[in-house]
Amino acid sequence: MTATSDPAAAGGPVYEERLTAPASYWVIGLVVGVSTATAVGFYLGPWVAVAAGIAVAGGLVFALLALGHVRIVVDDRGLAVGAALLEWPYQGEAVALDPAAARDRLGAGADARAFVVARPYLPSAVLVPVVDAADPHPYWLVSSRNPRRLAAALAAGRAAGVERR
């Protein structure tokens, strides 16, 4: 180990998470693919069933990979969610939301201007206020498997950013 093995000191990610689809979604996709192939097979024959099964399975694999493609990274630049970046100077204090609070922020308590990355299989989220008056988004709402760890990483990053200024 070198002196720069600390990710924060080396400029690497302090927190990283990929919002991959859970195994249950893959099982459901498999069942849908097999069911489609079976139904088509009974109606149009086995060769069409194989083609339909491959087409449905390919579409479902593509959809599930796209659903789980989003990556959350906290590093020396700020909070990156997918291709979007919220830099340190523009972040307010992050709050980890329990499932009920996250559901409220996605429903009745939502602001239509918010930047939202939500996944139906992740009930918890983190709310990050945006303190840039020029930004049209009042806050970022990001689903997470570990909202407390993500909020803690953001708090530590903000504290380090304040010290760097």
Local confidence band at 30 (pLDDT 50, 70, 90 cut-offs) = confident
Domain ranges across the chain: 23-67, 77-164
Tokens of 33: 């693919």
> Is the entire prediction scored with pTM above 0.95?
no
Residue that is written with structure tokens 């830099």 in the block: 87
* Mean pLDDT on 5-15: 60
| Nearest alpha carbon to residue 122 among 104, 139, 98 | 98
pLDDT, tens only, 54-113: 888 889 989 988 888 899 999 999 999 999 999 999 999 999 999 999 999 999 999 999
